[in-house]
Amino acid sequence: MAPADSERLLAGAVLRFGDVTDPASLARDGFKGERFDALVSCMASRTGAPKDAWAIDHRAHLYALEAAQHAGVSQFVLLSAICVQKPMLEFQRAKLAFEKALMESGLTYSIVRPTAFFKSLSGQIERVKRGKPFLVFGDGTLTACKPIGDDDLADYTAECLDDDSRRNRVLPIGGPGAAVTPLQQGARLFELLGRPPRFRHVPTSMLDFIIRVLGAAGRVIPALADKAELARIGRYYATESMLVLDPTTGLYDAAATPSTGTVTLFDYYADLVKGAAAPERGDHAVF
């Protein structure tokens, strides 16, 4: 996002721009020697590739934490991700490493772990409008999530600053309503478009094959190693639910996944179908 876009969206706020990977810039351009009460971080790596993940999800956050402590900050609200419950990828390990550092820092903390974002689940709307089938992995019921909208998540995160019950806690959070599967997402989208449902079922074994090929090639061509990790990320989201994981049973539990807000994924779909501007998804794109 360009500085001018940030200024437009955050009219009335004092905005400062710096390099989060440079401790000197954080101190000089961000905190500027002033004192602050709290820090809220929504930073995340763009792709989840290992180098990017450890640079942003971990190291940049450590720099921010240190700068915050020097500035007298006593409270840190961190936007993390629910997928770190079952860490199999480098970006998840990087996030967990910083979560641990934050918990041990002595600051009051709130670690918010949201489920799937609306924008991450909106990539197939245009292809379905063009008459193409909705793509699902397996039978379309391998996973489920309680999607959450940007505004509802922003409200929940900001409220952590004043809600004593959210302090020094890890907070998984989803949007309103029941958990939905990809099959249900597609069915509702076709219903909103007034079209009969058409699905294309993609076997997860296809992702396994891609991962094996890229992984082997990545040992010779480093750039392909990152692509292999991106394929692993894709497989993770194709096979793991974005819900609270029961550590005893090893199963995802929709009933145990808290909800907040008022806008559902299907409300969001309805607005997009009616012509609302779709968000720029960038690296959130899956299809």
Three-class SS of 111-178: EEEECCEHHHHCCCHHHHHCCCCEEEECCCCCCCECCECHHHHHHHHHHCCCCHHHCCEEEEEECCCC
Strands 252-253 and 244-245: antiparallel
The answer to whether 1-114 and 115-149+174-287 have equal CATH topology is no
Residues 27 and 67: their CA atoms lie apart, in Å, by 6
Q: What are phi and psi of 14, to 5 degrees?
A: -85, 115
Residue 284 confidence (pLDDT) above 50: no
Residues 132 and 125: their CA atoms lie apart, in Å, by 10
Candidate from 126-130, 137-141, 196-200, 278-282 with smallest mean pLDDT: 278-282
Q: How confident is the model at residue 10 (pLDDT cuts 50, 70, 90)?
A: confident
Read off the pLDDT of each residue in 21-45 and give the average, rounded to a whole number.
Answer: 96
Q: What is the CATH number of domain 115-149+174-287?
A: 3.90.25.10
Candidate from 11-20, 53-62, 277-286 with smallest mean pLDDT: 277-286
Place of tokens 């993609």: 202
Residues 191 and 189: their CA atoms lie apart, in Å, by 5
Residues 26 and 7: their CA atoms lie apart, in Å, by 19
Given this model, what pLDDT does residue 279 score?
61
Candidate from 12-16, 97-101, 238-242, 261-265 with smallest mean pLDDT: 12-16
Q: What is the pLDDT of residues 206-248, one digit of tens each?
A: 999 999 999 999 888 988 888 999 999 999 999 999 999 999 9
The pTM score is 0.92
Length, in residues, of the chain: 287
CA dihedral over 234, 241, 146, 89, signed as positive or negative = negative
Given this model, what pLDDT does residue 9 score?
86
Q: How confident is the model at residue 286 (pLDDT cuts 50, 70, 90)?
A: very low
Spans of all domains in the chain: 1-114, 115-149+174-287
Fold (topology level) of 1-114: Rossmann fold (3.40.50)
Q: How confident is the model at residue 4 (pLDDT cuts 50, 70, 90)?
A: confident
Percent of the chain with pLDDT over 90: 85
Mean pLDDT, the chain, whole residue set: 93
Q: How confident is the model at residue 282 (pLDDT cuts 50, 70, 90)?
A: low
Residue 37 confidence (pLDDT) above 90: yes
